[in-house]
Amino acid sequence: MSEPFLNYISGRWLSARSGRTFANHNPANGDHLGDYPASGPEDVNDAVAAATHAFKSWRLTPAPKRAEIVFRAGEIIRERKEDLARAMTREMGKILVETRGDVQEGIDMAYLAAGEGRRMYGVTTPSEMPNKWAMSVRAPIGVAGIITPWNFPFAIPSWKLMPALVAGNTAVFKPAGDTPEMAWHFSKIFEEAGLPPGVLNLVFGSGSQVGSPMVEHPGIHVISFTGSTDVGLQIAGRGGALGKRISLEMGGKNAIIVMEDADLALATDAIVWSAFGTTGQRCTACSRVLVHEQVHDRLAEKVAARAKQLKLGDGLDAATEVGPLVNAKQVETVEAYVAIGKGEGSLVAGGARASGGALAKGHFHQPTVFAAVKHDARIAVEEIFGPVLAMVKVRSLEEAVQVNNASRYGLSSSIFTADVNRAFAAMRDLETGIVYVNHGTTGAETHLPFGGTRGTGNGHREAGHTMLDPFTEWKSIYVDFSGRLQRAQIDNA
């Protein structure tokens, strides 16, 4: 009999207090993958109590020792990479080469975050008074509430939890209901790596029954959320009113700009990968191409031809290039936007649910391309989170930048051009958190900050040298060894 899937609270594996469960299914074929606790506010209370108790000793554990546990977790993840990738493909659908990459981000993040255990730099600076020492150091905030999405179910928890733990925080972790198994594996690995009881607590359940109580709970001091902009802004409003620190990673409507001098073959490769990788279910996915009018038709023809050739199927099949959408509701959302798009542009590829043969039991939709879409059309401005691409004509780089920056979102953007002057102008003028030159909109690396502007985020960044910022406070310390009272600016006038 396989091990049951349970919450992890104070070092113990527990059912929800209510005894209720929910089912997890494979989106490619509907197979039942297990049942998980349908937790409620009472389980959140237990997890927060455990995290609060564990914080007293965890924050006093030397940072290099905390980091050693994170590093050991990274080593375990590396050893189990293939098994974890296959479990992820079964659970959320994206193809195996992509889930291997998702797990690899967890490995990379473990090593990067572990390094902070021996850095975690503060600042020393001269005092304005004699015989006085001045410095600033990072301090943990307390209990972190971590709420993660289903599309990167191993990487995104790694980006949040590993820095939070290295910095000395404890955590309550709520994963998405569509990908509970990866959170279970993540927590099991940290248990095996030697994380003390209560430092990491895993609570399965819905947004209303677990997520909202976490935001409301007075014992949780910082919330780190990745998900939709609408939900993120609700969290920001309520959490902010309660005085919590809120770190948000939200939606995207990312554009690739293609100028008339671009390498169209390379641009086509990048567009197809960025638009249809993870079945378009990435916050960094390319969902619009702002293409110079001189090459619009040629590029649309190339992209459409490639989209039609993509093979749909189970992500565990090596021949599959596009897996299923995560659930039936997401298929309905995509279908609704495709219907809207048929009145807003020229349909040149796809446009329908894919349900024949081996796809019949899964949540599949054809990779879909619309050409000659107006820049303010709904399919060109609203986040779809599916395999739908809108191609928009522009007359100049300046117009492309203007259209890009008018978006509600500001995560990732890209330009294809052979002109170095245009490339540098785009790097300067594109108002997104990530900018690529002669590359698609996906492919961020863990040692650079990740995040966006406007409706994509609220100023925080994950990964890179900024990873500790959401989870630490700055403490300024003065040591006066003058032996007399020095009144700073009063005595320094």
Distance of alpha carbon 171 from alpha carbon 164, whole angstroms: 8
Active-site residue (options: 283, 321, 383, 462): 283
Q: Are 221 and 244 in contact (CB under 8 A)?
A: yes
Those residues whose C-beta lies under 8 Å from the C-beta of residue 70, and which sit 6 or more positions away, are 110, 113, 114, 117, 162, 165, 166, 193
Q: Nearest-CA neighbor of 285 among 467, 372, 474, 413? A: 413
Q: Nearest-CA neighbor of 192 among 353, 11, 377, 355? A: 11
Distance of alpha carbon 144 from alpha carbon 51, whole angstroms: 9
Residue indicated by tokens 């939070």: 164
Q: Nearest-CA neighbor of 331 among 357, 358, 366? A: 366
The distance from CA 265 to its chain's CA centroid, rounded to whole angstroms, is 29
> Nearest 5°: phi and psi at 360?
-60, -35
The H-or-E segment that residue 55 falls in is: helix 41-58
Beta bridge partners of 23: 35
Distance of alpha carbon 306 from alpha carbon 300, whole angstroms: 10
CB-based burial label for 357 (10 Å; 0-12, 13-18, 19+): exposed
473 catalytic? Reply is no
Active-site residue (options: 91, 249, 321, 462): 249
382 catalytic? Reply is no
Q: Are 307 and 276 in contact (CB under 8 A)?
A: yes
* Catalytic residue numbers, as ranges: 249, 283
